[in-house]
């Protein structure tokens, strides 16, 4: 059984990431995992969105929300590093007027858990990309996420273009996986705020 992300972090050494190969890329399935979430999923995460490195949106066209270190323990303690899929929701403060109604729904997401080998991070991070076009940022707002499945391991890349290409595949795989009824039902999980003014997209 591979070590969890937390075990790797505790040892103080970053695992050697698999290198991206043509074989891996050409053989990537467009849907992964069982028809319903299986242990250790679903994994619930929650925390205030922090400022990260600012690379997701600027460098990769894939803006991400970073959760505080203590918020990722529920997944890092039971799962290995890699790319995951599920749902997320931004919970604004009551006096917020910046986010639109469509911004605070339960939305599909992909999440990277690890050290981002291409950028050679020194700390374990969880970076969530919500597949939605937000018109404003939400730093400091609460984010709730439900991680439902594993897509692939962390990979190293020889170019930014190769990384971007695989991120786009990750998004498609996540959306395909979440189309299954056993996963759609998870969008109504009590972990999310599902008041009368909110709906699932």
Q: What is the mean pLDDT of residues 142-148?
A: 96
pLDDT at 131: 94
Which residue did the predictor score with more confidence, 116 or 59?
Answer: 116
pLDDT at 98: 84
Q: What is the mean pLDDT of residues 141-146?
A: 95
Tokens found for residue 117: 């080998």
Asked if 127 is an active-site residue, the reply is yes
- Mention every residue, 6+ apart, whose C-beta is less than 8 A from residue 62: 56, 129, 164, 167
Q: What is the pTM of this model?
A: 0.85
Q: What is the mean pLDDT of residues 184-192?
A: 95
Decide if 145 contacts 127 (C-beta within 8 A): no
Tell me which of 10, 127, 142, 165 is the catalytic residue.
127
**For residue 174, pLDDT beyond 90:** yes
**For residue 110, pLDDT beyond 80:** yes
**For residue 197, pLDDT beyond 50:** no
**For residue 119, pLDDT beyond 60:** no
Class of domain 5-12+37-183: mainly beta
Query: Over the stretch 8-24, which tens digit does the pLDDT of each residue have?
Result: 777 765 555 555 555 55
């Amino acid at each position: 059984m591979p070590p969890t992300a937390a075990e790797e972090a505790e040892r103080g050494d970053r695992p050697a990431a698999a290198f991206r190969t043509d074989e891996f890329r050409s053989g990537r399935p467009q849907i992964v995992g069982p028809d319903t979430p299986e242990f250790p999923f679903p994994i619930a995460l929650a925390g205030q969105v922090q400022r990260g490195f600012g690379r997701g949106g600027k460098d990769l066209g894939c803006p991400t929300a970073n959760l505080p270190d203590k918020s990722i323990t529920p997944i890092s303690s039971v799962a290995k590093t890699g790319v995951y899929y599920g749902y997320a929701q931004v919970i604004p403060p009551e006096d917020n007027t910046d986010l639109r109604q469509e911004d605070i729904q339960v939305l599909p997401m992909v999440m990277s858990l690890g050290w981002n080998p291409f950028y050679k991070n020194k700390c374990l991070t969880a970076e969530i990309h919500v597949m939605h076009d937000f018109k404003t940022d939400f730093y400091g707002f609460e984010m709730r996420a439900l991680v439902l499945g594993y897509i692939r391991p962390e990979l190293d890349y020889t170019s930014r273009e190769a990384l971007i290409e695989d991120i786009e595949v990750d998004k498609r795989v996540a959306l395909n996986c979440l189309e299954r009824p056993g996963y759609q039902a998870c969008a109504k999980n009590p972990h999310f705020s599902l008041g009368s003014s909110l709906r699932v997209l």
